[in-house]
Amino acid sequence: MPLGGTTLHPEDRLPVIQKPKTKTKGRSSKKLLTFLFIFFVTLLCVLFFQSSLSKITVVEVHGQELLTPEVVAQSAAVKPGDHFFSVSSKQIEEQVMGLKMVQSAEVTKHFPGVIHIEVKEYPKVAYQLGDGNQPEAILADGSIVPVSSQVNFVMDKPILTGWSGAEAMKTKLCQTLASVPESYLTDISEIKPDPTESYPDRIKMYTRSQFEVITTVGYLPEKLKYLDTYIANLKENKINTGVLKLLEADTHAPFDNDAGKNASSKDAAPKDGKTDKKTTSGTATPPPDPKKDPAKDTGKTQKPSGKETTRN
């Protein structure tokens, strides 16, 4: 019994447990703030997409030579005023690649509102003369582009003649010309088709050094490597004109003067008969060794004998 005669009830000896405070007010404030945040973000998005910041302001086109910027931009199907985020760079690239003369395209987007298109066209590999003898450039994919008249225009590529009706082989030739170094083509002035039963893709090439070269589209990359050295060896032996057959076996023969053809004429050529697959009339000169650089050879097997035989 406690002192003083005071009686303590059991509940007076237990600590009082405080009731938890209600958080209704705090939760309501957080919900309100979240709602206001979403509202303002949505409002800003609406205002942004309705403003000029979300629209394309300029379409830049670079790298093209034969195509105009307007044609490239039209094929991209984008223009100033369109939504900046409505199209992807990849989608624009695919649309520009739809142009026949375009080899590749790279598109970059710069915020705000700038679309940059870098175009790479197929290279020019040859020329041809169109209506009215107007020069036309031929690209690696076979596309034909008119050449604007220029005072200083120079045909620095071979001229293709006589290819009407042989478009598939002409396209293959253009692809082959694009695959070889330009230095191999500096002496070639003209290329025309000359198919035979043995060689459906046979061609004739005329050089600025007064030689006629017979080969095929398929052999062209391999044979062009040694053409300059082959001609140089002939000239060292005082042979300045003639017909070179660069087929399975490389041979040389003089022009046929008996048929009334001038040795310097581009159209002059020996009569092949049925021997075009291996040799021509006249003394055959040893071909350059394809496994050896002709420039480093001793010349014992590269120089022609200089002897000629008459036709039978």
Q: How far apart are CA 275 and CA 252, in angstroms?
A: 13
The sign of the dihedral angle between the CA atoms of 19, 21, 22, 23 is: negative
DSSP structure string for 256-287: -TTTT--TT-TT-----TT-TTT--SSPPPPP
Tell me, what's the pLDDT at 41? 81
The sign of the dihedral angle between the CA atoms of 297, 298, 301, 306 is: positive
Burial 104-117 (b: 16+ CB within 10 A, else e): ebebebeeebebeb
- Looking up tokens 């790298």 gives 63
- Among 69, 175, 187, smallest CA distance to 123 is for 175
pLDDT digits (tens), the chain, 312 positions: 555 555 655 555 656 566 555 555 667 788 878 888 888 888 777 776 677 777 888 999 998 888 888 889 899 988 888 888 888 899 999 999 988 889 999 999 888 889 999 999 999 999 998 888 888 889 998 888 887 655 566 788 999 999 988 999 999 999 999 999 999 999 999 999 999 999 999 999 999 999 999 999 999 999 999 999 999 999 999 999 999 999 988 888 887 653 334 433 344 333 443 434 333 334 444 444 444 444 444 444 344 444 333 333
Ordered domains of the chain (ranges, CATH): 52-121 (3.10.20.310), 180-296 (no CATH)
Angle between helices 167-179 and 220-236 (to 10 degrees): 70
Those residues with Cβ within 8 angstroms of residue 210's Cβ, 6 or more apart along the chain or in another chain: 240, 241, 263, 264
Encoding tokens for residue 30?
A: 């957080």
Cα separations (Å) of 238 from 87, 168, 231, 304, 306?
66, 39, 11, 10, 8
Q: State pTM to two decimals.
A: 0.60
Q: Both ends of the chain: CA-CA distance in Å?
A: 154
> H-helix or E-strand containing 118?
strand 114-121
Encoding tokens for residue 15?
A: 């600590």
Those residues with Cβ within 8 angstroms of residue 177's Cβ, 6 or more apart along the chain or in another chain: 125, 126, 140, 158, 185, 220
